[in-house]
Amino acid sequence: MVCVTASAAASAALLVPLLTGPPAGLGVAADQRLQNVFTAAADEYHVPRSVLMGVSYQQSRWDSHPGAPSVGGGYGPMHLVDARQAQTQIPAQTQTPAQTPAPAAHSGSARPRAVTAGPSASHEANSSGSRSEQPADLRRAARLIGAPEGRLRTDAAANVRGGAALLAATQRQLGKPLSADPADWWEAVARFPGAGDTASAATYANDVFAVIRQGAHRTTDAGQQVTLPASPGVRPHTPGPQGAQRAKEVECPAELSCDWLSAPYVEFDDGYGNHDLADRPRDQKIEYIVIHDTEAKLPSMLQTVQDPTEPSWHYSVRSSDGHITQHVKTKDVAWHSGSQFVNARSIGIEHEGFLRQPGAWYSEQMYQASARLVRYLAKKYGIPLDRQHIFGHDNVPPPTASSIPDMHDDPGPFWDWRHYFDLLGAPLRATAGPDSDMVTVLPDFATHKPLFTGCTKTGVPCAPHGSSAVRLHTEPDENAPLIQDPGRRPDGDASTVDVNDLGSRVSAGQTYAVAGRSGEWTAIWYLGRNAWFRNPQKHPTAVGATGRMVTPKDGLSEIPVYGRALPDEDDYPEGVPKPPDSPLPYSFRAGQRYVTQSRLGGSYIDRSTFGETPDPVVSGQEEYYEIQFGHRLAYVRASDVDVVSARATAGPPSGHAARPPQR
């Protein structure tokens, strides 16, 4: 059973920190039409403005996406749902060559097959977290305000009026007055999204009231500056404890709607699948949480995880409402990342969606539920809330040199890492001055819209969209060539601006050592060379950071970089074959520095046989540092490097003369 008071506390923790007003120095917002719309609609339908704005923030963060539905058929700032539109306008995707996975292997390549039918479809419809038949209904809202349905899809003002009318109608149905006190509206708010169980409804309402108490300010996708002032004294009148039954196998926060659909551990003619038994964290520490998107719709995703010949992952998160399904116990090892080493140390979470259609699939409900799950898992297993421990499938280090071209690129440049870490309660922020030795990549997601191609067709520009990604050049010049990744493109082809091309990108929250500065440009050490990105002081794309870096020990001109941290040869017991070291095809030369946030021991698990007990973990004496080496992580032997601390206020000299030779 879920206690509402406990859910409220969790909601408050999840939403820290929200702004209580415009950022310092912003001044008066240039465009407050949407702000005025909320005020007018609240007055017209006698709904407290804070309630209306809080619901809208929870539904869409006040974004409009005019005329474009989410996968759940939701439109506008209130995310009003037209059930007839749900998923009908979201075309099935075909994989580009960059996305095509290698054949399913023991290491795990979590890219489900494009299938749409099967027993999992009925599981989705009947799960404990399925949506009710009466969500924030667009057609009903249109009738209540006497406007054509089409207007509520394209006109933000009509959409907000419709949401206000729905809240007022629900309050009357509950037999309650249209009170001016926000505390009287908890039950109406809980019913707004049409959650299919009381636990989800209570969590939703508590999240809305956490926003109301803390306030929020945001620039929307349409450039509107919207502010909800903080009302810290609002304490809603809630009913008694709310809860929902769930399978005993589920490992999930009490306030989330979660269920269980098992991945099979079975033997067949050509091997076994589709995960490994383990006893984590007793036999192997869980250090990472890997964020994926599925590149498939939910029914396909659930069917794939039930196929023993396919990869597996621990959790699936539904786009339309954030409902979570667990498939593999966290003590066991799922095959999801493309690296057996990372699999053994991680939990994999798949998010329903396509990286080339973020506006339709990366919903606020999904972000909220996923962050709540990650926060729960990180606390349970002592996982640091930073970008070297909570990372995307696109940040997984390739285990060998030959595996680099086959590594995946989800959740892509449109995943909002900054917002995600806000929800985790670990906001990404400056920890040093602008001239520090280290920088954390941190563009403003809403306004940072670099050019990408390939969302609809190869070479065709994608629609402008907020992005976590910052592009890197060989010189401090927008017209200079992009940085190349010789491992990803061993044929020597140039990096591109294609949405799936990671060769010249960094992402929000990643931290790098500064290699030089020139005017508005900053250089970082990246894949063995210095890489430049535009970083104007007024609108920075990276901020100062403190922490530790590693550099080759004196006397070493170059050291190897690895995609996994393996034991030394003498550490393997008899009968366990030692895998090849396979250094990555990059250079880490004297004078270069890379940021590290963890030191770990080498380990290996020989996952080659089916059995009723876990295989033993081979632990090594050699220790490694995990480093942010390129877009992906990597490892260096501790015996090869010295650790240095970043200076908080004094960076390298400015200008080209500060740059070590590029080779």
What's the confidence (pLDDT) of residue 241? 55
Place of tokens 């299938």: 115
Which whole number is the average pLDDT over 327-336?
98
Q: Left if phi > 0, otherwise alpha if psi is -120 to 50, otherwise beta: which for 87? A: left
- What is the maximal distance between C-alpha atoms in the chain? 79
Q: Are 564 and 601 in contact (CB under 8 A)?
A: no
Q: Are 533 and 474 in contact (CB under 8 A)?
A: no
**Please, what is the angle between helix 4-14 and helix 364-381, to 10°?**
100
pLDDT at residue 105 tops 60: no
pLDDT at residue 451 tops 50: yes
Question: Of 30 and 156, which is predicted with more confidence?
Answer: 156
pLDDT at residue 592 tops 90: yes
- How far is Cα 530 from Cα 661, in angstroms, rounded to an integer? 9
What's the confidence (pLDDT) of residue 243? 52
- How far is Cα 233 from Cα 255, in angstroms, rounded to an integer? 23
Q: Are 257 and 129 in contact (CB under 8 A)?
A: yes
3-state secondary structure 596-613: EEEEEEEEEECCCCCCCC
Q: Which long-range contacts (CB under 8 A, 24 or more apart) does 429-432 make?
A: 429/543, 430/543, 430/544, 430/545, 431/544, 431/545, 431/546, 431/547, 431/648, 432/544, 432/545, 432/546, 432/646, 432/648, 432/649
Q: pLDDT tens digits for 164-200?
A: 999 999 999 999 999 999 999 999 999 999 887 788 8
Query: pLDDT confidence of 14, banded at 50, 70, 90?
Result: low
Please, where in the chain does CATH 3.40.80.10 lie? Answer: 246-416
From residue 338, give the alpha-carbon distance in Å to each of 72, 268, 294, 309, 409. Answer: 30, 22, 14, 15, 11
The phi and psi torsions of 374 (rounded to 5 degrees) equal -65, -40
**Please, what is the angle between helix 33-45 and helix 156-173, to 10°?**
30
CATH code at 4-83+135-228: 1.10.530
For β-strands 588-589 and 558-559, DSSP reports them as antiparallel
CATH code at 246-416: 3.40.80.10
Please, where in the chain does CATH 1.10.530 lie? Answer: 4-83+135-228
The phi and psi torsions of 627 (rounded to 5 degrees) equal -130, 155
pTM to 2 decimal places: 0.86
- How far is Cα 61 from Cα 414, in angstroms, rounded to an integer? 16
Question: Of 89 and 522, which is predicted with more confidence?
Answer: 522
In degrees, rounded to 5, the angle at the alpha carbon of residue 463 between the alpha carbons of residues 461 and 468 is 95
Q: Are 58 and 79 in contact (CB under 8 A)?
A: no
Q: Torsion over CA of 111, 113, 116 and 120, rounded to 10 degrees?
A: -70
Q: Left if phi > 0, otherwise alpha if psi is -120 to 50, otherwise beta: which for 405? A: alpha
